[in-house]
């Protein structure tokens, strides 16, 4: 069966099942092409909550579908691949976090939404990559335990120097592997391009950025900025949109 016919069958089945097909920005082009909505994990979960469809087909990873199910308990949320996991989310467990909380009883736990429901349940507050800094600033506590992404944690710490920040040593393999030499070469090859990057990248990469933002923020930045060329520091699935 060719791809176009398969896509048509998926769309038809979704209609028959009264299902909303949503796909994360990082999905492959052929998945995003047939999605009713594309976006980042939180935006998609909110769409799942607000839709009048009874079934949500979430093309993403486990924690994303889990978040959608939490926000839309009256709906059936289907994850097409049960083995679709996020390496960073898997780097922290509820048991491990409980132990770290015992070591730092005076710290407020700020957990990135890229984590399991069990880990979120052990947290004081959750954040997204777009509101992480404002969430950290809103907390009265002077000591923060930032989970699970050390790179996002370091970015938060750089923006709230008045707070003591402790990091869980997790990371996104894709963002963490970006190298300074690669970015400098890309900028040299494209001197008229602006470099926008996700805060899950290492601090030395963020220092080279023209703009640091979430995936949704990248769309907004590119749409509003007069520049015609951008170097994108995140998963290549974002380029489809």
Give the pLDDT confidence of 92-151 residue by residue, as tens digits. Answer: 999 999 999 999 999 999 999 999 999 999 999 999 998 999 999 999 999 999 999 999
According to the model, what pLDDT value does residue 41 have?
86
Residue 123 φ/ψ, nearest 5 degrees? -105, 160
Q: Which CATH number do you get for residue 68?
A: 3.40.50.10800
Q: Are residues 160 and 200 in the same domain?
A: no
Q: Are residues 188 and 152 in the same domain?
A: no
Q: Are residues 164 and 185 in the same domain?
A: no
Q: Are residues 62 and 33 in the same domain?
A: yes
Q: Are residues 136 and 184 in the same domain?
A: no
Q: Are residues 40 and 55 in the same domain?
A: yes
| In-domain check, residue 84 | no
According to the model, what pLDDT value does residue 7 have?
93
Q: 196 forms bridges with which residues in the sheet? A: 211, 232
Domain that residue 194 falls in: 175-234
According to the model, what pLDDT value does residue 239 have?
66
Collect the ranges in the chain with pLDDT lower than 50: none
Q: Are residues 31 and 56 in the same domain?
A: yes
Radius of gyration of the chain from Cα atoms?
19
Domain boundary among 139, 171, 203: 171
C-beta pairs of 157-166 under 8 Å, 24+ apart in sequence: 158/203, 159/133, 160/133, 160/136, 163/136, 163/139, 166/100, 166/104, 166/107
Tell me how many domains the chain contains.
3
Q: Are residues 211 and 224 in the same domain?
A: yes
Q: Are residues 162 and 190 in the same domain?
A: no
According to the model, what pLDDT value does residue 162 have?
97
| In-domain check, residue 98 | yes
Domain boundary among 59, 78, 97: 78
Q: Are residues 157 and 100 in the same domain?
A: yes
pTM: 0.89
Q: Are residues 62 and 100 in the same domain?
A: no
Q: Are residues 113 and 149 in the same domain?
A: yes
Q: Dihedral of CA 198/204/205/207: which sign? A: positive
Of the candidates 70, 66, 144, the one whose C-alpha atom is nearest the C-alpha of residue 111 is 144
According to the model, what pLDDT value does residue 219 have?
86
Q: 127 forms bridges with which residues in the sheet? A: 112
| In-domain check, residue 151 | yes
Domain boundary among 31, 46, 78: 78
| In-domain check, residue 111 | yes
According to the model, what pLDDT value does residue 240 have?
58
| In-domain check, residue 240 | no
| In-domain check, residue 181 | yes
């Amino acid at each position: 069966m060719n791809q176009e016919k398969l896509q048509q069958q998926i769309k038809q089945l979704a209609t028959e099942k009264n299902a909303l097909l949503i796909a994360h920005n990082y999905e492959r082009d052929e998945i995003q092409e047939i999605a009713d909505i594309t976006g980042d994990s939180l935006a998609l979960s909110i769409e799942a909550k607000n839709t009048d469809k009874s079934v949500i087909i979430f093309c993403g990873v486990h924690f994303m579908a889990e978040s959608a199910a939490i926000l839309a308990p009256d709906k059936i949320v289907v994850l097409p691949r049960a083995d679709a996991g996020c390496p960073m989310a898997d780097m922290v467990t509820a048991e491990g976090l409980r132990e770290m909380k015992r070591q730092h009883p005076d710290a407020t736990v700020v957990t990135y939404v890229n984590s399991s429901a069990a880990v979120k349940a052990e947290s004081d507050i959750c954040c997204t990559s777009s509101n992480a800094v404002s969430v950290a600033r809103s907390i009265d506590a002077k000591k923060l335990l930032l989970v699970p992404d050390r790179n996002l944690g370091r970015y938060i710490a750089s923006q709230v120097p008045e707070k003591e920040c402790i990091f869980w040593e997790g990371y996104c393999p894709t963002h963490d592997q970006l190298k300074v030499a690669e970015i400098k070469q890309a900028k040299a090859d494209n001197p008229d391009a602006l470099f926008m990057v996700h805060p899950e990248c290492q601090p030395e990469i963020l220092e080279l950025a023209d703009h640091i933002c979430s995936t949704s923020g990248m769309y907004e930045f590119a749409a509003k900025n007069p520049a015609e060329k951008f170097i994108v520091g995140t998963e290549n699935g974002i380029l489809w949109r």
